[in-house]
Amino acid sequence: MPIYIALLRAVNVGGTGSLPMAELKPICEGLGFTDVKTYIQSGNVLFRSDASEATVEEKLDAALGEKMGKRPGVMVRSRKELEAIAANAPFPDAKPNFLLVYFLPEKPRADALEKMVAPDGEEAKLATREIYVHYPKGSGRSKLKLPALKPGTSRNLNTVRKLADMAAAMEA
């Protein structure tokens, strides 16, 4: 049975709303997902399901929308995808916590970086369904403007690696 990693958008970080991870687990189990595990308080959940990625994404987003009053947005990836995302990270000199991966619901447009305004020297690179952004001064006070990031959710490279490791351990 495939293992999925779901990344919730704007949960517990001042966005769509607050959802304790203790509440996320029973929601996932209620959808028929098994071996459910959450990681840190920012909307990361791993589980098994026989359903397709698109079905899992839709079911979880709909269930969270009912709970929270608004769909937060859910991006689902496999362990292999997360491993590839971590392995192919550009900006090799960047500190892993200063390199954010923005997970998007679909492939970014080829011109997605054209409207980028990066006053603090931020750099970005397009990937399959992700955009990597290096924040040389950290993301907390960054004034980066990049409209293509809006539908996505970000995780730093350390978190991406940890989620891939957790998924690999579930397969062992």
pTM attached to this predicted model: 0.93
Tokens representing residue 45 in the block: 């959940």
Tokens representing residue 46 in the block: 């791993």
Adjacent-strand bridge partners of 131: 102, 126
pLDDT tens digits in sequence order for the chain, 172 residues long: 999 999 999 776 444 467 877 889 999 999 999 999 999 888 899 999 999 999 999 999 999 999 888 899 999 999 999 999 999 999 999 999 999 999 999 999 999 999 999 999 999 999 999 999 999 999 999 999 999 999 999 999 999 999 999 999 998 8
Side chain identity at residue 92, one-letter code: P
